[in-house]
Copies of this chain bind each other. A is one copy, B any other.
């Protein structure tokens, strides 16, 4: 642990990511004072009860006053409006960042509002779980995970450096990337997997009731893996697909072409085509495990699920 990187940080939006950021900042000592706000009264009250913030404000404008770092943690389509509302209240020299999963649209929506002498640097901590809300957050969420910063031509190098130091203090590895490159890579690693997972779970949701109950009963045979990421926050994900439309449609096109090829191989009984693909794909997982991005434990090291006693 090094000393505080910032004097006072303001966190706008206190869901899974925002509340984890608050906890991680506190645990690492990355800032002296941590204040924040959330749009909903219920979330603000809950955060007061949790006692994780020095002060909970009612508006984003109030929250950012005197802060040298402002972190916007709201769904990407709402980021521009937040930037507009906080702009008049930003302290001289303040750094503004965000945590959105799409970066080109965020830079486009936020940057016009940032006044002279304040600096916006887009950010994306590649971390999360399928749970939402302030109770789902935890201090270790960013530990050993990547945080991607996507400065534009307007971002000052000093701001990028200071923000990098902040994320490193929280335990993250920092990589700097152009916003469009970020959006393409994340379309593949995150957005398409989520879209496909939502889609197959939707296909199952549309089955007749008795078949659906069998699918739930036998979900351990593969299907349940998909339901985890299809349980993620709907507003956040709606915004991501709308904001990263071009890259998502491009990668979806490739996926669909490949799937049509597999479909044809099955129809024609071409076992060699199937075997070749199924052999190639094993290497990718081995590479991911070797890169420290996944556990090698069988079945994700999943605890044995037990019958729930919930109603």
Contact = CB atoms under 8 A, between A and B. Distances in A.
Interface of A: 101, 126-131, 136, 140, 143-146, 148, 175, 184-186, 188-207, 211, 214-232, 234-235, 237-239, 241-242, 245, 248-249, 251-252, 254-256, 258-260, 262-263, 266-267, 269, 271, 274-275, 277-308, 310
Q: Closest 9 interchain pairs by CB?
A: A292-B307, A234-B278, A190-B221, A129-B298, A193-B222, A227-B285, A201-B281, A300-B300, A231-B285
B289 A308 contact: yes
Contacts of A279: 234
A190 B202 contact: no
Contact of A205 (B184, B196, B207, B283): B283
Contacts of A126: 218, 220-221
Given A184-B211, A189-B215, A190-B218, A280 B205 contact: yes
Given A189-B223, A192-B200, 10 more contacts: A126-B218, A146-B220, A175-B217, A188-B215, A199-B277, A216-B288, A219-B294, A234-B278, A293-B305, A295-B302
Contacts of A294: 219-220, 224, 227, 302, 305
A278 to B, nearest CB: 4
16 contacts: A186-B221, A190-B222, A193-B226, A196-B196, A201-B281, A205-B280, A216-B284, A225-B225, A227-B284, A227-B288, A228-B285, A230-B281, A230-B285, A252-B263, A292-B307, A295-B305
Given A219-B293, A245-B267, A300 B298 contact: no
Contacts of A295: 302-305
Given A146-B218, A227-B288, A230-B285, A274 B242 contact: yes
Nearest to A248: B266
A252 to B, nearest CB: 6
A224 B175 CA distance: 20
A256 B266 CA distance: 15
A288 B224 contact: yes
Contacts of A249: 263, 266-267
A15 to B, nearest CB: 14
Contacts of A223: 188-190, 193
A58 to B, nearest CB: 27
A294 to B, nearest CB: 5
A192 B203 CA distance: 11
Contacts of A259: 195-196, 199, 252, 256
Given A129-B298, A266-B242, A294-B305, A256 B256 contact: yes
